[in-house]
């Protein structure tokens, strides 16, 4: 006989709710399409508040630093909320079972039930509160198993998250010397205009085809990764993905002797990743507030590429084709970038500057020649 069945079954329902939410978030290796999920609501509301707080900071550097903290901190908070939810749930079930515990120095009650639940969940085993009924003992043993399993899953979960993050960032860092900081499609193509550069470009796009597939799988399984920001403020997975899609679009429109087929393959999986991630974060495609590639910029890019031996197909048909390709991904990337507070890169560098690898925070302590070079850099992200 359960003295307080409402409390008991409410606790049971809450346990099932928390366990299922954790299962979908940590273990289930596919996107969950159900509209109501605690984890989704948690990230939606905490990220909104975090962005509001960041907007109050006038310094861009400090603002980016604060935004960069959200991913790791929110993950720890979510794990803590799950743990507290399970402790409260088992405490509620103990209370519903009649608080059948022996407590040293005080009367049994809900507070003692919560204390027993907490010490059991974290497997402390202090022994100052002991279950005295069969049901209370069964609950205690069950909670000890749940707590131990929860700890084991967390120990395995965090390395997976950081391995996926590290894998994502490697290619982003490698893109620095290949496409500039921030990366742009025009600069990527220009830097591959050397002899046999088309073959190197094909290999690069093949690597980014695999990177895009890995991004899609890892970020669909663990959406929290999208909130983890890159090491440099002028780099991001959104910017890198945009630059690669831009470059693929140009190659598909037509550059003589270039790797059009590989560009098509990379474009397909990269666009697939963008569309699926937009569904995960429920960011409907949005029109861009201003044109990323004006006619003047396109003409300038054609001239720059032509000077380096890359002839980009021109004419009305080529421009129409480029516009069609851009509409397949730009609205999705803009919506994702707006949600994550990440900006899209231009098609060609707006100003002449140094790559991240060419700058250092110690430039002021170096010789005069290096100081002069550092002063010429437009954006030193190491400052």
| 338 and 251 in a common domain | yes
CA distances from 72 to 43, 79, 153, 221 (A): 12, 11, 17, 17
Examine the domain organization and report whether 255 and 316 are in the same domain: yes
Considering the domain architecture, whether residues 230 and 339 belong to the same structural domain is answered as yes
Distance CA 245, CA 237 (A): 12
- Which residues are CB-neighbours of 220 under 8 A, at least 6 positions away? 30, 31, 276, 277, 280
| 83 and 226 inside one domain | no
Question: DSSP letter at 227?
Answer: G
pLDDT at position 63: 93
Q: What are the C-alpha distances in Å from 258 to residues 78, 115, 189, 193, 311?
A: 47, 68, 10, 10, 10
Residues 94 and 113: beta-carbon distance below 8 Å:
yes
Domain membership of residue 377 (yes or no) is: no
Q: 188 and 128: one domain?
A: no
Question: DSSP readout, 98-112?
Answer: T--EEETTS--SHHH
**84 lies in the same domain as 230:** no
> Residue 163 falls within a domain, yes or no?
no
Is residue 322, in this structure, part of any structural domain at all?
A: yes
Q: Which residues pair with 102 in a beta bridge?
A: 130
CATH assignment at residue 72:
1.10.287.70
For the chain, the domain total comes to 2
What pLDDT sits at residue 142? 93
What pLDDT was estimated at residue 350?
80
Range of the domain at 259: 175-350
Residue 365 belongs to some domain of the structure: no
> Model-level pTM?
0.87
Whether residue 78 sits in one domain with residue 212: no
Query: Within a domain: residue 74?
Result: yes
The secondary structure of residue 363, as a DSSP letter, is G
363 part of a folded domain: no
DSSP 312: B
Do 193 and 300 sit in the same domain of this protein? yes
Q: What is residue 375's predicted lDDT score, i.e. its pLDDT?
A: 45
User: With 0-12 CB in 10 A as exposed, 13-18 as middle and 19+ as buried, what is 29?
Assistant: exposed
Is there a single domain that holds both residue 193 and residue 125? no
Does residue 299 lie in a domain region? Answer: yes
Residue 362 confidence (pLDDT): 67
∠ CA 215-79-213, nearest 5°, is 5
Is the distance from CB of 277 to CB of 216 less than 8 angstroms? yes
Q: In 3D, which of 177, 100, 184 has the Cα closest to residue 139?
A: 100
Q: What is the DSSP string of 292-305?
A: SS-HHHHHHHHHHH
- Is 185 in the same domain as 67? no
pLDDT, residue 368, reads 42
Q: Are residues 116 and 236 in the same domain?
A: no
Whether residue 47 sits in one domain with residue 92: yes
**pLDDT at residue 380, rounded to an integer:** 52
**Quick check: is 38 in a domain?**
yes
All residue ranges of the chain with pLDDT < 70 are: 1, 105, 361-383
């Amino acid at each position: 006989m359960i003295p307080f069945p409402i409390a008991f079954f409410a606790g049971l329902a809450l346990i099932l709710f928390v366990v299922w939410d954790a299962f979908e978030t940590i273990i289930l290796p596919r996107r969950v399409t159900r509209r109501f999920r605690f984890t989704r609501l948690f990230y939606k509301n905490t990220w909104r508040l975090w962005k509001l707080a960041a907007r109050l900071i006038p310094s861009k550097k400090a603002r980016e630093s604060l935004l960069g903290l959200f991913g790791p901190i929110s993950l720890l908070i979510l794990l803590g909320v799950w743990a507290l939810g399970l402790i409260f749930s088992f405490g509620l079930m103990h209370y519903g079972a009649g608080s059948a515990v022996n407590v040293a120095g005080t009367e049994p009650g809900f507070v003692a039930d919560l204390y027993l639940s907490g010490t059991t969940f974290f497997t402390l085993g202090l022994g100052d509160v002991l279950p005295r009924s069969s049901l209370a003992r069964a609950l205690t043993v069950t909670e000890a198993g749940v707590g131990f399993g929860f700890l084991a899953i967390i120990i395995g979960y965090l390395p997976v998250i950081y391995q996926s993050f590290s894998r994502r960032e490697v290619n982003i860092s490698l893109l620095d010397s290949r496409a500039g900081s921030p990366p742009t499609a025009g600069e990527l193509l220009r830097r591959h205009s050397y002899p046999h550069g088309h073959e190197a470009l094909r290999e690069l796009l093949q690597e980014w085809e695999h990177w895009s597939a890995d991004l899609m799988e890892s970020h669909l399984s663990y959406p929290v990764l999208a909130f983890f920001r890159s090491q440099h403020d002028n780099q991001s997975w959104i910017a890198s993905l945009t630059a690669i899609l831009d470059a693929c679009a140009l190659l598909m429109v037509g550059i003589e002797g270039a790797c059009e087929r590989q560009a098509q393959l990379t474009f397909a999986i990269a666009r697939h990743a963008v569309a699926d991630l937009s569904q995960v974060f429920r960011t409907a495609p949005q029109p861009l507030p201003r044109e990323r590639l004006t006619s003047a910029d396109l003409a300038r890019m054609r001239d720059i590429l032509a000077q380096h031996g890359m002839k980009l197909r021109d004419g009305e048909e080529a421009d129409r084709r480029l516009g069609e390709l851009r509409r397949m991904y730009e609205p999705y990337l803009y919506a994702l970038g707006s949600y994550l507070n990440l900006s899209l890169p231009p098609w060609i560098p707006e100003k002449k500057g140094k790559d991240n690898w060419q700058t250092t925070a110690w430039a002021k302590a170096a010789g005069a020649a290096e100081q002069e070079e550092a002063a010429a850099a437009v954006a030193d992200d190491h400052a």
